[in-house]
Amino acid sequence: MTEFVDPEREQFETFKGLDRDQPIEMLNLVKFRDIAEYPSDHELANARLTGAQAYRNYGAETAPIIKRLGASIVWRGAFQTTLIGPADESWDEVFIARYPSAHAFLEMVTDPIYRAAVVHRQAAVKTSRLIRCAPNESGSSFG
């Protein structure tokens, strides 16, 4: 499994180049480290938290920001198996976060409190996928 934790510069520039004024939904696929890997000078560096515990710290510290921005988790599920796709990818967290706009997402990731809390995500995550989507109508058929 290839490891992805933070966006590459080019990917982030592509994200910023898309329409910022419409709601966005971010599909999050997250695989945790067995033991969180904090920077050596971080107060939790020797705490031996699991990746899941570190990710919960990230969630707790960022929840007020998400609420203030009008964002929310609109769907969460428990990964079971991959039917089509790489067999070596499994996920510990699978959810969709909805933001009122890409502006709100960008405000979140530049917020000083968020920037301090992201150390927990970086310590927790072995690999992840964060996929930006434009909301569409739901229906009763594919396509």
User: In CATH, what number is assigned to the domain containing residue 43?
Assistant: 3.30.70.100
The H or E element that residue 25 is part of is strand 24-32
Q: Which of 18, 37, 25 is nearest to 127 (CA)?
A: 37
Confidence of residue 131 (pLDDT cuts 50, 70, 90): very high
Q: Is residue 64 part of a domain?
A: yes
Is residue 140 situated within a structural domain?
A: no
Q: Higher-confidence residue: 4 or 83?
A: 83
Q: Report percent pLDDT > 70 for the chain.
A: 99
Question: Quick check: is 2 in a domain?
Answer: no
Report the DSSP pairing between strands 72-77 and 24-32.
unpaired
Q: Taking 70 as the threshold, does the pLDDT of residue 63 lie above it?
A: yes
Q: Is 59 domain-assigned?
A: yes
Residue 128 forms beta bridges with which residues? 30
Tens digits of residue pLDDT in 73-118: 999 999 999 999 999 999 999 999 999 999 999 999 999 999 999 9
Asked whether residue 80 is domain-assigned, the answer is yes
Tell me, what DSSP letter sits at residue 35?
B
Would 3 be classed as within a structural domain?
no
In a domain, 127, yes or no: yes
For residue 52, give its domain range: 24-133
Percent of the chain whose predicted confidence (pLDDT) is above 90: 83
Domain tally for the chain? 1
Query: 140 pLDDT band (50/70/90 cuts)?
Result: confident
The predicted pLDDT at position 1 comes to 64
H or E element that contains 77: strand 72-77
